[in-house]
Amino acid sequence: MFRTTHSWPACALALACALALAQTPPPSEPEPQWNTMQGEKLQALQAQGDAARGAIAFEICQGCHRAQALGRPDGSYPRLAGQHATVLIKQLTDVRAGRRLNTKMLPFADRHVIGPQDIADIAAYLAALPVPPDHGRGPGRGLAQARKTYEAECAHCHGNAGEGDAQRFYPRVSGQHYKYLRRETIDIRDGTRTNANPRMRDVVKGLSNESIEALADHMSRLPVQALR
Ligand code: HEC
Ligand code: HEC
């Protein structure tokens, strides 16, 4: 690694600088500990996803996530249709690495079943699926306040229309089942969902169950629209 023409003090200095640089996150990656780019996540993100192959690989997932990845209105299984490929890849590889707990799913989605290329293929397939507006919605309480809170605290990440942000790994929340949105927000607040963005956790940590219920309801009512 070191060229012999370098003097040792110069090498030591270069090494110290290199280490300091390595510890300074590049500006494109604001929360490295939350979303470090390495291993199979990086491989899947860099792979060219093939939606046709993804449709076949997704068959094993359909028993829970249902045909067309529409999920279930009772919130037990999320809708994956129309979710950003980057988000799907992060969530799936987080589960495989133990950063997000999902003991029900793991046997069907672990390394002996699918590899990084399959993950890229499935993500390409899911991201392009249509998002019909027939998902579960909430009881309609406290929506006016929830809208204000959403626009002040959540929209700069999840988007005014709930469209999320593919580049930043922020999930799309429009078109998602109310009960799933409610459970996930509570799990992130309580730390049960362990892989969440720390800034998101800060925003939800003071919220009551009632306000989370209304926020989830608001998100479930955002108009479903094409992502790109
Ligand atoms: C045995 C049922 C089951 C199977 C099979 C299954 N999943 Fe899941 N999956 C779940 C459950 C339950 C959740 C929600 C976990 C939670 O509430 O945090 C989930 C969540 C996810 C999420 C996170 C969604 C989000 O919005 O964060 C992704 C991505 C996902 N599954 C992909 C897949 C893929 C791809 C397959 C097939 C290789 C698959 N799942 C197979 C049960 C399953
Ligand atoms: C700093 C950006 C940011 C803010 C602010 C933020 N979130 Fe999030 N949110 C995220 C990220 C990133 C995830 C995915 C977390 C992960 O990596 O597991 C997420 C996940 C979620 C999920 C789960 C979605 C899914 O498909 O699994 C819900 C629901 C949610 N956020 C609701 C909210 C609400 C409600 C607010 C405001 C009170 C909010 N978020 C504020 C970034 C943010």
Residue 195 CB less than 6 A away from ligand 1: no
Band of the pLDDT at 226, cuts 50, 70, 90?
low
Mention every residue, 6+ apart, whose C-beta is less than 8 A from residue 203: 153, 154
Average pLDDT estimate for 78-96? 98
- pLDDT of 31 reads 52
Tell me how far apart the alpha carbons of residues 78 and 164 are, in angstroms, rounded to a whole number: 16
**Structure token digits, residue 152:** 């002040």
For ligand 2, atom 43, which residue shows the shortest CA distance?
Answer: 200
Q: 58, 65, 178, 193: which to mutate for ligand 1, most atoms within 8 A of CB? A: 65
- pLDDT of 24 reads 44
Q: Ligand 2 mean position to 15 CA, how many Å?
A: 38
Residue 66 — left, alpha, or beta (φ > 0 → left; ψ -120 to 50 → alpha)?
left
- pLDDT of 3 reads 38
Q: Ligand 2 mean position to 127 CA, how many Å?
A: 18
The torsion defined by the Cα of 205, 156, 81 and 145, in degrees rounded to 10, comes to 60
Q: Please identify, by atom number, the ligand 2 atom nearest to the C-alpha of residue 219.
A: 35
Average pLDDT estimate for 174-203? 97
pLDDT higher than 80, residue 51: yes
With contact defined as beta carbons under 8 Å apart, do 188 and 200 qualify?
A: yes
For ligand 2, atom 8, which residue shows the shortest CA distance?
Answer: 200
Residue found by looking up tokens 């998002």 in the block = 131
Q: How far is CA 30 from the centre of its chain?
A: 16
Q: Ligand 1 mean position to 147 CA, how many Å?
A: 28
- pLDDT of 30 reads 52
Q: 77, 110, 114: which to mutate for ligand 1, most atoms within 8 A of CB? A: 77
Tell me how far apart the alpha carbons of residues 189 and 196 are, in angstroms, rounded to a whole number: 9
Tell me how far apart the alpha carbons of residues 57 and 88 are, in angstroms, rounded to a whole number: 14
Q: 53, 60, 61: which to mutate for ligand 1, most atoms within 8 A of CB? A: 61
| Ligand 2 residue neighbourhood (C-beta within 6 Å) | 78, 90, 153-154, 157-158, 169-171, 173, 176, 181, 184-185, 195-197, 199-200, 203-204, 215
Mention every residue, 6+ apart, whose C-beta is less than 8 A from residue 12: none
Residue found by looking up tokens 């028993």 in the block = 63
Q: Based on the number of CB atoms within 10 Å of its own CB, is 102 exposed (0-12), middle (13-18) or buried (19 or more)?
A: middle
- pLDDT of 87 reads 98
